[in-house]
Amino acid sequence: MQSAPRYSRIPVSDAGGMAVHLPVVDIGPEPRKLAVIAGIHGDEPSPILLVDRLVVALRDLPLTAGIRVVAAANPPALMQRARWSNWDDEDMNRVGDGGGGPALTRRLAATLCDVVAGCELAINLHNFVMRTPLLAIQPPGQSAERHARHQRYIQALDPHVVWVFGSAPEDIKIFNSSIDAAMEQRGVDVMAVEMADLPELDEPLMRRAIAGLLRLAVLTGCVAPEAALTPPPKHNAVFVHRHIIRAPGAGIFEPIAPLGGTIETGEVVGQLIPLERPGDRVLVTAPVGGWLIQRLGQRFVRPGDMIATVGIVIP
């Protein structure tokens, strides 16, 4: 049995004569239970590739409930291939449900919250510029019941790393301004998932992500368990707090430490080739020990850009 995707466009705004729509894809019968979102940040192509693979995989499965895919959640930012569009310079991931504001990014956020309402779970997909394994986010401030559900989602996704947000009042304040928090307010559980940028999103990571999404489709009752033949989960996720290492200056970053391994305090992560003083390399070292969970490849960096993160393992 085949489940044909149904493509539609939800009107968002008439921006000075140019109509802006939120494109959605629905697969499977009502009721809708799972939403998968990509493209909130316009410079993150990996999630768009992933949802394309997901829709192709779902076409061949007998679905028992509906899955709604929003592949291009922020069309103006995607057109500009920028994190946010310069029409209003607002980060769609950070405006909650838009708060009724007239700016286009806020209207898009409000529409996105509307189109996922009624789903049990929404997966909010992002990619870092840094090389990143499949990484799920554990947000702060969850009730015991919500926390237990989140652990089930993490088990089903089977990521390499779980980034556990801090639970200080400042961390909770940051999370509460997110679109994830706004969707949670509407009764939708949200799991944010990060991965590597193109072209570093390799086939094993892609396969692991697709298998995880299909298991989440089973968990939410959208796909019968026997229909989704995915590789068995590895369950080797490491739960970490994240310590960010930023570029000390402008130049080309060259990685040295291997990704995914342990790193000691003071160990060299890589070096910065300065723009104006070739030969005068600056070593970048880890200020704390842990797992090197994310790291740039060879890239231009500006002062303050994220170049690596050390995951401090939570026992």
Give the binding site for Zn ion (CB under 5 A).
41, 44, 126
Shortest spacing between CB 91 and Zn ion, in angstroms: 9
Taking CA atoms, 128 is separated from 30, 62, 98, 227, 312, in Å, by 34, 33, 24, 32, 19
Query: Do residues 269 and 246 make contact, with C-beta atoms less than 8 angstroms apart?
Result: no
Q: How far is the CB of 70 from Zn ion (least distance, A)?
A: 14
Taking the least distance from each CB to Zn ion, the nearer of 33 and 41 is: 41
CA 181 to chain CA mean position, Å: 14
Closer CB to Zn ion, 126 or 131, in the complex: 126
Residue (33 or 126) nearer to Zn ion, CB? 126
Residue nearer to Zn ion on the CB measure, 126 or 242: 126
Contact predicate 65/17, CB 8 Å = no
Q: Which residues contact 97 (CB under 8 A, 6 or more apart)?
A: 109, 110, 113, 179, 182, 183, 185, 186
Nearer to Zn ion, 3 or 93 (CB): 93
In angstroms, give the least distance from the CB of 44 to Zn ion. Answer: 5
Read off the amino acid at residue 256.
I
Nearest to 35 by CA among 72, 87, 84, 70: 70
The residue among 42 and 255 lying less far from Zn ion, judged by its C-beta, is: 42
Look at strands 268-274 and 282-285 and give their pairing.
antiparallel
Question: Residue 126 Cβ, how far from Zn ion at the closest point, in Å?
Answer: 3
* Residue carrying the six token digits 């850009």: 305
Cα four-point dihedral sign 77, 100, 166, 161:
negative
Q: Quote the tokens at residue 156.
A: 């089903």
**Closer by beta carbon to Zn ion, 65 or else 134:** 134
| Residue spans of alpha helices (H) in the chain | 46-59, 75-79, 104-116, 144-157, 169-176, 179-185, 203-219
